[in-house]
Chain A
Amino acid sequence: MEWVSGLLASEPSSSNFFTYIFISLPLLSVVLGFVTYAILAERKVLGYIQLRYGPNRTGGKFGLLQTVADVLKLLIKEDTRPKQADRPLFWLAPIIAFVPSFMVLSAIPFTESVVFANFGVGLLYFIAVSGLTTIGILTAGWASNNKYALMGGMRSAAQMISYEIPLLMSLVGVVLFSGSMNLIEIVEQQQYVPYILVQPIGFIIFVIAATAELNRIPFDLPEAESELIAGYHVEYSGFRFAFFMLAEYVYLFAMSALITVLFLGGWQPIPGLGFIPDFVWFAIKFSIVVYMFMWIRATWPRLRADQLMEFGWKILLPAAMANIFLSAIVKELFF
């Protein structure tokens, strides 16, 4: 840790620059590996839940190379651009959507020693920066010059505004109990009792709002194949489309990691099982959360646009407010 702080204060030089790149490269490869196999796992899980096999040809019996083949196809595909599209914005939109998805990863503590930024307001940083992606999606929808794309982009923006508020409100309970917005301190506070037991209502609200922020079924109105064909990325092909997909799955990674850190105790073991190393604990909890997201996707129908708005403002927001009051009372009386 001290060595890194020393590097931060030293003069900028090329050796400095490459050190930072070599520090962050392993995270990048872990995330890309996760995305590759999360897509495969999602298709497999969806397949088994719907009584099908899912991918089972490319790369052996389990389709292990299916995503690799898909990505290769996307990369060598022709990169089309509509003639009437707004050229600079069409080019810029995938970048605006993608960059924040990697920026949020820096705030997440994976184990006690694997921490990238010890940030005093890590929790708020995550929520704030992830909101920037919506601007990218909105830009993509507008720049494509296509009715369906524009509607998808607008829906995404409306959804983000309505669900970011309950998302933040449901976290106030966690912040009240831990007395900190630093993600590392929040994990350290959960040494004996994870916050899912102290904050069950907050956990449920957060998971619902997070599903909406991730644009996944039942809240995938920005993409809704049956009504909007594919929403904001309908005009994108090749590697630009791949960027949007990558951003989506990196957010799945980030959001699952955040839920693990906030509510499931991060790398903290179940008392008595401390001999299992901390990164294994993180991986187990993280995988359970990712599986839960896939399960929700497989078993829920899509909401209608008006139901989505009503649910956000009339049910989730009051419930989150009530949760704050309840947490404050519980904290005053029992802690």
Chain B
Amino acid sequence: MNGELLAFLILSGAAILGGILMINLKKVVHMLLSVVLTFVSLAGIYILLSAEFVAVVQILIYSGAITIILAFGIMLTNHKAQEERSSNRLRAILVGVGVIIFFFTTYAGIKNLYFGTGADSLHIDNTQKIGESIFSHYVIPFELVSIVLLVALMGAVVLTRQREEDDE
């Protein structure tokens, strides 16, 4: 057992724990924090895979910005802080069976998958390589994504504008 495996076990365990807590906790703010746990552990797994840039951006965007926006959404809207759940045994059994079937089909699907030998020079100039391929090979998809984001931004502005006029 080497350090990498140990780190992977801890991080993936924390990520799964975060997901399970997210579903099972009752208070919304507790759920928010368990999502943060999942995001941070995923960033750790990216670092193990030599993807430093993706890991840092994961923390910056997901754990930083998106969590704060979620927190604002929770705290500024009307909601019950605690969620009541009705348990339905039949539904629980059906979902359980579905999960098991899904696990075995996925496992059968990826059991013999071969990724080739692991690349061992990924960590050298990681960010530079990402930049080069985005701005040369993938430049058109990149620009398209930026247009989609711009349209979404403008849509948000239009929606808030209309509400302001309604108020008047």
Interface residues in chain A, defined as those with a beta carbon under 8 Å from any beta carbon in chain B? 8-12, 86, 88-89, 92, 96, 119-121, 124-125, 127-129, 131-132, 134-135, 138-139, 142-143, 150, 154, 157-158, 160-161, 164, 181
Contacts and interface: CB of A to CB of B under 8 A. Distances in A.
A12 B63 contact: no
Contacts of B6: 12
Interface string B56-94: 110110011101110110010000000000000000000
Q: Which of B27, B33, B56 has the most CB of A within 10 A?
A: B56
Interface residues of B, number: 29
A160 B71 CA distance: 13
A120 B52 contact: yes
A89 B29 contact: yes
B125 interface: yes
Interface in B67-126: 67-69, 71-72, 75, 123, 125-126
B64 A134 contact: yes
Contact of A12 (B1, B64, B71, B75): B1
Contacts of B71: 135, 138, 157
A138 B52 CA distance: 27
Contacts of A164: 64-65
**6 tightest Cβ-Cβ pairs between the two chains A and B:** A131-B64, A128-B60, A128-B59, A124-B56, A12-B3, A157-B68
26 contacts: A9-B2, A11-B1, A11-B2, A12-B1, A12-B6, A86-B27, A89-B29, A92-B33, A120-B52, A120-B53, A121-B53, A121-B127, A125-B56, A127-B60, A131-B64, A134-B64, A134-B68, A135-B63, A135-B67, A139-B33, A142-B75, A157-B71, A160-B64, A161-B65, A161-B69, A164-B64
Contacts of A131: 59-60, 63-65
A157 B29 contact: no
Given A120-B125, A125-B52, A131-B63, 12 more contacts: A12-B1, A86-B29, A120-B53, A120-B123, A127-B60, A128-B60, A131-B59, A132-B36, A132-B63, A134-B64, A134-B68, A135-B33
Contacts of A86: 27, 29
Which of B3, B57, B126 is the most central at the interface, judged by chain A CB atoms within 10 Å of its CB? B3
Given A92-B33, A142-B29, A120 B126 contact: yes
Contacts of B53: 120-121, 124
Contacts of A132: 36, 40, 59, 63-64
Contacts of B67: 135
Contacts of B1: 11-12
A12 B71 CA distance: 39
Contact of A89 (B33, B72, B123): B33
B59 A138 contact: no
A8 B3 contact: yes
B64 A128 contact: yes
A134 B68 CA distance: 8
A188 to B, nearest CB: 16
Contacts of B75: 142, 150, 154
Contacts of A135: 33, 36, 63, 67-68, 71
Contacts of B57: 124, 128
Contact of A11 (B3, B56, B123, B125): B3
Contacts of A150: 75
Contacts of B64: 128, 131-132, 134, 160, 164
Contacts of A119: 52
A9 B63 CA distance: 29
Contacts of B68: 134-135, 138, 157, 160-161
B29 A120 contact: no
Contacts of A125: 52, 56
Interface string B12-37: 00000000000000010110010010
Nearest to A154: B75
Given A11-B3, A135-B63, A121 B30 contact: no
